Structure formats: structure tokens, C-alpha cells
Chain A
């Protein structure tokens, strides 16, 4: 069977361009040659500081967030057999954010670097289990989305409550607002270590599941009759997708629509075969988040990343709902 990898190269090229742009562009504008110089260990002191201390960690975190969220979206869509499922709509992102905010509000986050991602993972799993309990598998799209609406509202309210509790402690409440809106500002190498190894590992662990996910997305029983251990596969992919979302949320806050929009566009363009869709979504998600982050740097009023992805993703989602299936 012919399977062209041209789209992968194209997306990879886009990703490289977005990566270089996010290192070069901003308040201090650097020439591409200077960026390359810095990456190769040379360059002026100012450029080195700008690239190595500020923009490189931000870009790496952005790529990990984008790849993780997009992969997580692909997994949830396959798991729920529903192209509308995604970490944002189902409340898994908000669950992760609630975990992160709880860790901040209660001061755990200052004790250990890993407290924040751990709390975020716990919150995301809470949300995943709640969605699974509320909307049984093969639930209708309406049921699933309504469960997501309810969870998003609930976790949002709990987060607001924590925000109220910390009123007056401006440093903490500022951080909480950051997690609610999502963004990549001021990300440091600590955040890179928080998110990047886990995301790379998670994405690599997913690759062997691609063939079985093809079968699963056409029905659980059919997949099992063809030799897939469906129960185990489902646990593994839902756990991995939750961890990927949680890691992304722990460093970037709630960044919506990446897991929905990116797999969808790629599926429209290159078909639903997970052997291609999953790696393409990882590359495409990373490029999408970097591109959105670049937009935040140039639009006036310091738009947050989560706001930009929502501004782009919201209309897309509405268009998708109107589209005849």
C-alpha cells in the first residue's frame, strides 16, 4: 500500500521554521544566523542570554505541550470513538489545572519541583475517571460533551474558589490566573525538565499502539475479535493520554483546542490511519503551539496562549459541529 511520508516532512519543516522563529523573534529581534551561532555555542552575550535562558526553554516547553496535547486528543478520539473528544472539551485539562492550582495554593509547589506536575497528573486522572463514569463508552457525542461541560464548570468553580482563598497573596493568585489562561511566558529550564522527558517518553510509548488503535476506533468488540486485548489497550492509552495532558497543563496551564483542532485537520488531509495520524499530530501540535505562541508576542495587549488557541480553535469547532458527518 502506498503511504507517502511527504506530509510528515512538510510538517517537520513547518515545525523547524516555527522553532527558529520563536528563537529569533520577540522584543529583541535576532538574525537567523545569530540564532544558529548561539545554538552552536557561539554568539554575543546578549543573544546568548535571550536565546538560551529565555526563548529556548519557552520553545521546548511549547513543543512538548503541543505534541502532548495533540497526541492526547488523538488517543481520546480513538478511545471514545468520537472525533469530538479532546482533553480540553472533556475537562481533563481543567482537572490538571485544578491539581496544579491546588498545589500552588497550598504551598506544596514550593517544596519540590515535582509537586506541581504530580498534582496536575492527579487532577487530570480525577477528571478522566469522572468522564469515564459519567459517559460510558460508545456514549453519544452529546452525552460526552455534556459530561465535559459539567466537569469543566465544576473544576473551573473549584479553581475560582482557590483563587478567592488566595486573594491578597498576589504572587500565588497571579500564578493561578496564569494556569487558568494558559501560556508559555517565563518558562525556564526547570519547566523543560518537568515536561520534556515525560512527553517524549509518553509519545514514544504510544507509537507501538497505532495499529491496534485503528482497530479500536472501528469498534471494541470487532477489535477484540481480531486479537486485540481491548481492555488492556484502553487502560494504557487512556492513562498515557491523561499523563500527556497533565504534563502539558502542569507547565502551560489550560491550553484548549490543540487536541481537537490539530488531529482533525490532519485527519481531513491525510486520513484516519493512526500509523500516520499519531506522529503527524505530534509534529503538527508542536508546530501549532509554537505558531500560536508567536502570535501572542506580536498582538497588542499581551494575549495569552490559551486565548489565542481558543480564538483559532473555537470557530473551527463551531464549523465542525455544523459540518454534516
Chain B
């Protein structure tokens, strides 16, 4: 669904290749500054890099801007809102490339649990609520490819789990979902894990194979143990 070959961008990315098949849920992990956000920006076509990228089998350079808006949705980390648009209007922007037809807007607000905030200005939301608003905008695009940069970082436990469950649902609908994360335990539940370290792909594959104590120690500089831990899940 999205395929990238030999992505290189200065010192930020080195020769990264990857493939996200339809119906896949992929996590990108790595220390701060490893290039996770950069990788997502490059894959989303928002930052130019050397190498080639194809979305749904078509070279990114050949895809028009509105068509890009229909095929892929991206949610960044640094979400500012300086103008007091109501939440509903922000979510409805997801339909820009569809002529603002208003489809999926209410569903997206339901899915991110912000329907009760529909008329609230985005300038008067908490960090987590704002993040959910922008995730809902991405969801409203109904795009086949979803790229979310640390979507759970600002969220409370409950809404964080909601978002991961939503990602799973999108995967089950046949979409390709790529999420950058700091929570390695959450990454264990994904189909595929990409480990970035200093702009290079240190490892990729099934999480149980990739996220072994040796690699975690090498990349993150911490010791990893398997043992008893508190388990949090949605009721």
C-alpha cells in the first residue's frame, strides 16, 4: 500500500526502505532524535528526501495534491491552533479533497470521543483533546493510509488505548496504519515494528522477534526484562 526505497535525507535519514501492506499495523520506535517524525513526514510527502516512494503502487511525484489528500492522512506531533475554529469545523477539514462533503465527520468525532466538544473552539481544548481533534480530522479523510506521529503521547490511559484500538480497527478494514511510539510494550501488539536509530533502520519485522533485550539495550541503552507487570486494557 505504501512502499519506500532508500530514503535518505542529510543526517536525519539513511537509506531507509520499508513496505506497509494493506491491512497492516506498523509501529516505528526509536530514541529521541532517531528520525521517527522525519520518516513519517517523508512518507507523507511533506518533506523531500532522496529515494522513491509509492502510494498504492503509484509514484508519489505523479500524484496530484488533492489525490494525496484522499489517499493518505498524516497527524503530526506539534499541533498548534492559533485561530478559534470550532472542533467540528476542524474535523470537517478532513473532507477538503472531497469538496467538503461532510461525510464521516460525525463518525470520526464519535470514534475519538470528541462529539461533546463539537462546538468548542480548538483554542480552548486541552493538549489531549486537541490531539484527538486532529486525529479525527485524519480519520474523516477515510484515507487508505494513516500515518500518526506519537498519537498517544498527550493522551490519558483510556484515550490512548482507544486510539490503539481504533488503529487496529482501521487495520482490520484493510488500511495501512503506521504509528510512531515511545511505549515499547504497546508496540508488542503491532503486526510489524520498525526500529530507527540515528536515522538508520536498526531492525524491522515481527515485534516479538525484533524487540529483544539485546536490541533494546543496543538502541535505547536500557535493560529489558520480561516479567510480571500491570496490564491495562479497555473494558
Contacts and interface: CB of A to CB of B under 8 A. Distances in A.
B127 interface: no
Interface of A: 1, 81-83, 211-212, 214-215, 217-219, 221-222, 224-229, 267, 271-273, 325
B141 interface: yes
Interface string B40-79: 0100111000000000000000000111111011111001
Given A215-B96, A219-B79, A224 B89 contact: no
24 contacts: A1-B92, A81-B80, A81-B82, A83-B83, A212-B96, A214-B93, A218-B85, A218-B90, A218-B93, A219-B79, A219-B80, A221-B41, A221-B76, A224-B45, A226-B141, A227-B65, A227-B66, A227-B67, A227-B96, A267-B83, A271-B84, A271-B86, A272-B83, A273-B85
Nearest to A225: B74
B94 A226 contact: yes
B134 interface: yes
Interface of B: 41, 44-46, 65-70, 72-76, 79-86, 88-90, 92-94, 96-97, 100, 102, 122-123, 134, 137-138, 141
A221 B74 contact: yes
Given A215-B96, A219-B80, A325-B123, A225 B89 contact: no
Contacts of A227: 65-70, 96-97
A273 B46 CA distance: 25
Nearest to B84: A272
A224 B83 contact: no
A219 B92 CA distance: 15
Given A222-B76, A267-B83, 5 more contacts: A83-B82, A214-B85, A221-B76, A228-B65, A273-B89
A214 to B, nearest CB: 7
A268 to B, nearest CB: 9
Given A271-B86, A273-B89, A224 B46 contact: yes
A267 B138 CA distance: 26
B115 to A, nearest CB: 15
A273 B123 CA distance: 14
B85 A225 contact: no
Contact of B134 (A81, A222, A229): A222
Contacts of A218: 80-81, 83, 85, 90, 93, 122
